[in-house]
Chain A
Amino acid sequence: DQQVKQNSPSLSVQEGRISILNCDYTNSMFDYFLWYKKYPAEGPTFLISISSIKDKNEDGRFTVFLNKSAKHLSLHIVPSQPGDSAVYFCAVRRGNEKLTFGTGTRLTIIP
């Protein structure tokens, strides 16, 4: 049973526009949420995170939004750049338990 879902397997966005990646989870007890970015043939790298006590966290071009009532997490990238083309994974955690990753969304930025 998939506890973390990224319903869009792929997304294409024009360079300079906003990229919005979405993630839905099922367990309201999750209290920490992360986004990872992965290039082909490389390991994922941490991008940005948010705890359940917040609803927004911003780091440069990247902003993560958390809607706890909807159990929904999103990552906004603005403006999108060609180097942002990668697979993005959301991940969730409850307390000190291990991370659970979503299925990933492949983002392609069109020059």
Chain B
Amino acid sequence: SQTIHQWPATLVQPVGSPLSLECTVEGTSNPNLYWYRQAAGRGLQLLFYSVGIGQISSEVPQNLSASRPQDRQFILSSKKLLLSDSGFYLCAWSGTRLNEQFFGPGTRLTVL
């Protein structure tokens, strides 16, 4: 069966510090991968998605970047965090059945 992992579960970082959140998927190959952010009182905002290694599409201009160094690994990064980067970050994957996305447990990021 397929599983998706995200770490860390929670993170508190000072403004201006770098960020690296990691997501890995097991039990499937060539998944579509997604990074979402759920900010307080708001819905799920798609940040990045990837259909293959090295292929990243950005949905909104922002302080963040994404990379996919391996087929089942998706990384969300920032060189310098802003206060507005605080939120709940979710990684998700979908297979050939694009109708469903499967989400990871999420990372709660607080930027102080």
Chain A residues at the B interface, C-beta cutoff of 8 Å:
6, 9, 32, 34, 36, 41-46, 49, 89, 93, 96, 98-104
Contact = CB atoms under 8 A, between A and B. Distances in A.
A43 B100 contact: no
Indicate the size class of the contact surface on chain B: 20 to 34
Contact of A103 (B6, B43, B100): B43
Interface in B16-49: 34, 36, 41-44, 46, 49
Nearest to B91: A43
Interface in B41-73: 41-44, 46, 49
A96 B103 contact: no
A44 B98 contact: no
Contacts of B44: 44, 89, 101, 104
Main secondary structure of the interface of A (DSSP, over half): loop
Interface of B: 4, 6, 34, 36, 41-44, 46, 49, 88, 90, 92, 98-106, 108
B42 A96 contact: no
A100 B44 CA distance: 8
A46 B4 CA distance: 14
B49 A98 contact: yes
A49 B49 CA distance: 22
A45 B102 CA distance: 7
B100 A46 contact: yes
A64 to B, nearest CB: 13
Nearest to B99: A32
The 6 closest A-B pairs by CB, nearest first: A43-B103, A103-B43, A101-B44, A44-B103, A104-B43, A46-B100
Contacts of A101: 36, 43-44, 46
